[in-house]
Amino acid sequence: MIAMRHLLCLLTSLSLAAAAHAADSYLCVAELTTGFTYDAGKKSWKSADFRSEKKLAITRARQKPYAWEAKEVGDSRPAATCERDFNEAGNLFCSGVFDLRFNKRQLRFLYVYPIGYWSDDSSNPAYREGENTPALAIGKCKAL
């Protein structure tokens, strides 16, 4: 009887693990976010810690030739697309407005918002010095 319970627990654990690896979507929540901000008074950049409010949805891509897409929760348009499916190590690589690295085995992600500082352009108001703040976030995901 005890052996049967252990077997049942093992089978349940394996099926849950398999479900996470075979998921068609993931919800990811940032735990730590850091980056750089512009001090207009001093006209200089400095490092900064940000509130970790970033939530991302990673889903199968709606448009070919992409395999997956990532968007900020609440936004209907993907901000990053992933050309290839997960590799043999369980890693997914996506790029676009932000870059994303995600591992479906560990359910961890790395988010990079690279716009600002190097891309600033005084002739374009959307890219004025300090208008965008480069950031890096790490967090965990769950299969949906």
Q: pLDDT by residue (tens digit) across 96-144?
A: 999 999 999 999 999 999 999 998 888 888 888 999 999 999 999 999 9
Q: What is the domain extent for residue 77?
A: 24-143
Domain assignment of residue 1, yes or no: no
pTM (2 d.p.): 0.81
Total domains, the chain: 1
Domain assignment of residue 33, yes or no: yes
Q: Tell the burial category of 37 from Cβ atoms under 10 Å away from its Cβ (0-12, 13-18, 19+).
A: middle
Domain assignment of residue 100, yes or no: yes
